[in-house]
Copies of this chain bind each other. A is one copy, B any other.
Amino acid sequence: MIHSLTAKLDDIFGFEQASAHCDIPCKIYDPCTAQVAALSVIRFIDLINELGEKDSLSLAEKAQLSRLVREKEIHAKKVKDEIVVIWGDYFKQPQFEAFPDISQLVHNIMLTGSACKQHISRDKAILLLSLVNEFAEAFWSTKGVAVYTATCPYPPSETVVYPKLA
């Protein structure tokens, strides 16, 4: 059933799928928002684990734990949402040809984003950032923009892929 529907899809979208020029409405896609959110997830996990080093938690610290978990939840969701928007709206035939594994990468970001919601593991959050950086590198490549890596100028001071714009 997938094949016949995809054929129908080709009929309807035609030219759109053959060209990257149609990413209406605005052609503005920038993975920086997802990257900042992924950094935030790492940061919240660091702050959660600082609380874990205490023998017991005061009422105020329990409240703080609850806040940190909520922010982690919101930012991990934001990572997933921002990446899906770029993948779902911007990636079309030419980008898929350049990066045939991109759907698998996006799916891994979904799974890892979920894992970051479910767990308080720093390794998982670092993996999430790595996957998002990898996505950003692919994205900028499809735009013909070179990238460089640098340590982000705020905690958690991890490595981020930036576009080379100067």
Contact = CB atoms under 8 A, between A and B. Distances in A.
B151 A165 contact: yes
How many copies the complex holds: the figure is: 6
A153 B163 CA distance: 9
B47 A127 contact: no
Contact of A9 (B44, B51, B127): B127
Contacts of A108: 5-6, 9
B124 A12 contact: yes
Contacts of A81: 81
Interface string A15-50: 001000000111111101100100110011001110
The 8 closest A-B pairs by CB, nearest first: A88-B110, A150-B165, A103-B103, A52-B59, A66-B69, A32-B32, A26-B43, A63-B69
Interface of A: 1-2, 5-6, 8-9, 12-13, 17, 24-30, 32-33, 36, 39-40, 43-44, 47-49, 51-52, 59-60, 62-73, 80-81, 84, 87-89, 91-92, 101, 103-108, 110-115, 117-120, 123-124, 127, 130-131, 134, 137, 140, 143, 145, 148, 150-155, 162-163, 165-166
Given A25-B47, A26-B47, A28-B154, 10 more contacts: A2-B104, A5-B134, A12-B123, A26-B71, A28-B39, A49-B59, A59-B65, A63-B72, A80-B84, A88-B114
